[in-house]
Each structure stands twice: as structure tokens, then as C-alpha cells.
């Protein structure tokens, strides 16, 4: 068994040695709990993000089909404590 260490910079690509190109995936272990995977409809909910009054957060998404390294900055978000915010994100 492999002991995957947290790395916030990039996901780990996992490949099948017998089915290269057909079977692959990504594993990403963060050193924080604020990451989510979208559901089958592309929706996500990121809960319990610590924020102070007037706090600003930078929302960043990753997708394997984006140009390397696969990150896209969605933008800065100003969020109030206990506020719910909806963001539509379009990827090329």
C-alpha cells in the first residue's frame, strides 16, 4: 500500500499498467479539508469554510482537460460568515 502524502500543488495521476490510455484517474490528498468533487450534474457544495467578516477567498478549480497544470482561477469571492453563495463556473 502506498502512503500518499498531502500535496496542495497538483494531483497524482494513477494509471493501469495493462490498460494504459483507457483506465486512469487522479488522487489528490490535501493538507486541508476545503476541496470537493462535483456530482454527476457538475454541482458542488463547499461547506464550513472559515471566513471572517469582509474576508476574501480565492476560488480555484482543477480539471484534467484544462491546459497544464489544469488550474483555473475563478476569482476572488467576498463572503460573510454563515453566508451561502452560488457561483456558475464555465470551463472551456
State pLDDT tens for residues 7-59.
Answer: 888 888 888 888 766 788 888 888 888 888 889 998 888 888 887 777 788 88
Task: Give dist(CA 30, CA 68) in Å, integer.
Answer: 19
pLDDT (0 to 100) of residue 20: 66
pTM for the whole structure:
0.68
Q: Is the peptide bond before 43 cis (omega within 30 degrees of 0)?
A: no
Handedness of CA 27, 29, 2, 10 (dihedral sign): positive
pLDDT in tens, 66-75: 888 888 998 8
Calpha distance 58→5 (Å, rounded): 24
Amino acid at each position: 500500500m502506498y502512503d500518499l502524502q498531502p500535496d496542495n500543488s497538483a494531483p497524482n495521476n494513477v494509471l493501469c499498467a495493462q490498460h494504459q490510455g483507457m483506465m486512469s484517474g487522479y488522487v489528490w490528498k490535501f493538507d486541508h479539508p476545503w476541496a470537493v468533487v462535483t456530482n454527476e450534474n457538475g454541482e458542488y457544495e463547499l461547506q464550513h469554510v472559515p471566513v471572517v467578516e469582509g474576508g476574501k477567498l480565492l476560488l480555484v478549480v482543477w480539471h484534467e482537460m484544462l491546459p497544464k497544470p489544469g488550474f483555473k482561477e475563478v476569482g476572488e469571492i467576498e463572503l460573510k460568515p454563515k453566508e451561502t453563495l452560488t457561483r456558475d463556473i464555465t470551463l472551456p
